[in-house]
Amino acid sequence: MIVKPQLAKLGLFDAKVPRYTSYPTAPHFCNDVGADMFGDWISGIKPGSAISLYIHVPFCRRLCWFCACRTQGTQTDNPVIAYVDVLKAELDLLAARLPEGVVLSRLHWGGGTPTLLNAQLMRELAQHILGIVPMGPDAEFSVEIDPNEIDEARLDALADAGMNRASIGVQDFDDEIQKTIGRIQSYDTTRDAIDMIRARGIASLNADILYGLPHQTKARMTESVQKLLSLGPDRVALYGYAHVPWMAKRQQLIPSDALPTPEQRLELFDTARRLFLWDNYAEIGIDHFATQDDGLTHALRAGRLKRNFQGYTDDQANVLIGVGASSISRFPQGYAQNAPATSAHTKAIRDGQFSTSRGHLFKGQDILRARLIEALMCDFKIDTAEILRDHDVSAAELDEMYHAANASFDGMLQITETGLFIPPEARALTRMIARSFDAYDLSKAGHSSAI
């Protein structure tokens, strides 16, 4: 078992590393991908194939202080109504390029707060989407739901549209912590929202909970996790709070002296992790947990687990199209991101063109290294046979990469005839190990703590 002094020596408590929901990571995107290339990529999708679609709604009634997402507050529905009209127009642009017979593997509404939309807007948006790209066999339609911003009418609209998975952000149930991070959401409010969701036959539930928050202790972490477990989510994402007040100005309202130390963050993570494992959840990658019969667990066992901008997924589609301001799309050719500012995105769409403002065209060893990093993040191992079969690389080159990574971590990794393996005692270092396969200059981006 690796102990704290060893982890400290290896830099775990000081390192700033990517979460690797993409490779290369978004800070390395540039303007070599524009609207024309994005449109060509859409046209090049194989007819009759399954794709994933992400719809981004950047609005919130209130701006939580802990959140570093690109969001904007609104107290009226006027900007939301106008934005939905823009989404429809963007979807029409997509429809004009999309080959015949394409269906959805996954549809996800995220934000911001997608449940800010009133019931009628939800119905109109869902109808517009599914009129262009219908749901495929065993497709999943998930929506991020704010328990403070949901009611019976809106849930009826989502259920009628085919939502079959709900995602709820919990963060923490402790009153003091909620006040400190600007997010008031009681256990009762959360439970009532989940009861309404399940009353409509929507059995699949995701939940997010954070560690590393101000005033968080092991006792408070334990209480919040136990309350969450009482609600019976199928999947839980246990994310580390990233305190980046120089990037997210609202985080300046959070007292930095109330934050746990990196060593305490590790203890908080381990406290929550043990509770999930004791409740018979399967450990999925570095920060997710799922019930034994959940799709993520089956994908993990079958070696089909993937990682994308929403975290871990069992989605096997090789195209993810992002709709809305700041959304990122992934194609076999590379990444494309829409204009981050809602105003710039809106102008482009109203002018009849995609708002693609930057991206990344895969080149060199990008696809190889993306797969190596994804394999480590998902399975804690790299299968040499798989890599040699699917990528243009020699066994000698792979072996050199393995030994370079192992040397950086005092020989803690296992190199065998079948590949590279991160043993359980070294898995706190996974993001740092993945970084050793990253060929880009990481000093250019302000990434989050390694733990």
Task: Give the DSSP letter string of 101-130.
Answer: T-EEEEEEEEES-GGGS-HHHHHHHHHHHH
User: Cβ-count burial of 223 within 10 angstroms (0-12 exposed, 13-18 middle, 19+ buried)?
Assistant: middle
The tally of CA atoms less than 13 A away on the side-chain side of residue 293 is: 2
| Amino acid at position 211, single letter | Y
Kindly state the percentage of the chain with pLDDT values over 70: 98
**Packing angle of the helix pair 262-278, 218-230 (nearest 10 deg):** 30
Cα 138 to Cα 392: distance, rounded to the nearest angstrom:
33
- Closest C-alpha to 99, from 137, 53, 42: 42
Sheet-wide strand order for 204-211: 282-284, 288-290, 235-240, 204-211, 165-171, 135-145, 103-111, 50-57, 320-323, 328-331, 334-338, 356-361
CB 174 within 8 A of CB 221: no
Please check the confidence at residue 446 and state whether its pLDDT lies above 70: no
pLDDT in tens, 334-347: 999 999 999 999 99
The per-residue pLDDT for 449 is 81
Q: Which two tokens stand for residue 431?
A: 């993001």
The per-residue pLDDT for 249 is 87
Q: Which two tokens stand for residue 33?
A: 């991908």
Residue for token digits 């002094």? 5
Kindly state the percentage of the chain with pLDDT values over 90: 88
Please check the confidence at residue 3 and state whether its pLDDT lies above 70: no
Sign of CA dihedral 329, 359, 444, 430: positive
Tell me the pTM: 0.95
pLDDT in tens, 230-287: 999 999 999 999 888 888 888 899 999 999 999 999 999 999 999 999 999 999 999 9
Please check the confidence at residue 1 and state whether its pLDDT lies above 70: no
Mean pLDDT of 180-190: 96
350 φ, ψ (degrees, to nearest 5): -65, -25
Q: Which two tokens stand for residue 347?
A: 């102008």
DSSP string, 221-268: HHHHHHHHHHT--SEEEEEEP---TTTSGGGGGS-GGGSPPHHHHHHH
| Amino acid at position 99, single letter | P
Mean pLDDT of 60-81: 86
| Amino acid at position 87, single letter | L
